[in-house]
Structure 1
């Protein structure tokens, strides 16, 4: 008995499925590929969870209007000033003002703080001389005038001597660094009383810097 003829379309479809099935079975499965974040731009990999959370926090903290931006700037400025105040009191160079930063300026401060400077006693002596000059006694007024001259001469001589010594020490200690303004910086510091100096002295008197 002759069987029914098989349609040609069915034969070709069966062969096509048999050829595709082994290829699909042999294809490696990539389990490491992560599903793309729908919010991530096309063509870029999906960010990690920690990176995405950090990005969302930064976006959430970004001020949305001018008032919030000004408030945030004031808070940042206040925090920076507080860090600078603590640095001036404790000597932390990370937050010092630009004029006080660097090993050259630190050495200049230590040089001044390690010795007695006549200029640092200028204010107390100036008060005494001013009181004497206000007394209506000719001899006391003459003494006050003479003291003014003596104090000024001593301060000038001591400042010149300190500048020469400091310049030599800086040249020997920091031959390849910029030392511009360091001597003037030290002389200005020497005019201040020790307890009022900022940054606070980090060396004792007589201690070699």
Structure 2
């Protein structure tokens, strides 16, 4: 009763401890598939189930593509031309050859005339047949020399206009083959007349 007053008990606030963040669940959220299951799911048949139908569809697609390319070569639409005929370099080559009179473009009719002449005169006039054969060979040599000179001058102009690194491989054969075709049979169709050389 007369004793010492007892102090009220001290209350100490507990220190606030931040709880560690809960780890976010990692992984896919689903079990990893077995190897056999994954391989079975990724397997695709190399051969379609109906091979005949697939072949018919492929032929139809190829036919549509060929028709599109043929029409493009007739009307000059370069977007749908075959890759070997696209680009400014090949267009310049075509225009240069079409603007020039080439001995090669008359080779087929001249060769046909010489062969018919040989058949007609083989028995009645063998000398004429031999002469026509010699003339045909001389024409071939002259046409080859003509196309060689054509390519030599054309290559110089191509290098000056586009640069040597811009010339694709096989351009010489592309030019020679066009020079030996009859003008009406050339594809893509000629865009210039004889004498209208490109700039």
TM-score by length of 2: 0.66
| Aligned match for 2:105, one of 114, 120, 127 | 120
Q: Which residue of 2 aligns with 1:200?
A: 189
Structure 2: runs of 5 or more not aligned: 1-48
1:110 alignment partner, one of 86, 91, 95: 95
The whole-number CA distance in structure 2 between the counterparts of 1:154 and 1:74 is 43
The residue number in structure 1 matching 2:117 is 132
Question: Paired residue for 1:18?
Answer: none
- Deviation of 1:72 after TM superposition, in Å, equals 4.8
Which of residues 125, 128, 132 is equivalent to 1:144?
A: 132
Give TM-score, length-normalised by structure 1. Answer: 0.63
- The answer to whether the 8 A contact 1:88-1:199 is kept is yes
Partners in 2 of 1:151 and 1:170 — Cα distance? 28
1:68, distance to aligned residue in structure 2 (A): 6.5
Report how far residue 153 of structure 1 moved.
2.0
- Identify unmatched segments of 5+ residues in structure 1: 1-64
**Alpha-carbon distance in structure 1 between the residues aligned to 2:106 and 2:151:** 18
Secondary structure of the structure 1 residue equivalent to 2:79: helix
2:153 aligns with 165
Whose helix proportion is higher, 1 or 2?
1
How many residue pairs get aligned? The number is 146
- Write out per-residue CA displacement over residues 89-139 of structure 1, whole angstroms, 9 at most, x where no aligned residue: 111111111111111111111111111110111111111111222212123
Compared CA separation, residues 138 and 75, structure 1 to 2 (3 A): closer
Between the aligned partners of 2:85 and 2:69, the Cα distance in structure 1 is: 11
Separation (CA, whole Å) in 2 of partners of 1:100 and 1:143 = 40
Residues 166 and 183 in structure 1, CA contact (< 8 A), matched pair in contact too: no
Secondary structure, aligned partner of 1:199: coil
Counterparts in 2 of 1:140 and 1:70: CA distance versus 1, 3 Å: closer
The partner residue of 1:190 within 179, 191, 195 is 179
Structure 1 segments of 4+ aligned residues over 6 angstroms from their partners:
none
**Counterpart in 2 of 1:177?**
166
Post-superposition Cα deviations, 1:164-197, rounded to whole Å, max 9, x if no partner, equal 0111011011114133221210111111100001
| Separation in 2, partners of 1:158, 1:76 | 41
Partner of 1:47: none
Q: Match for residue 79 of structure 2?
A: 94
Structural RMSD (CA): 2.0
CA gap 1:130/1:71 in 2 versus in 1, 3 angstroms:
closer
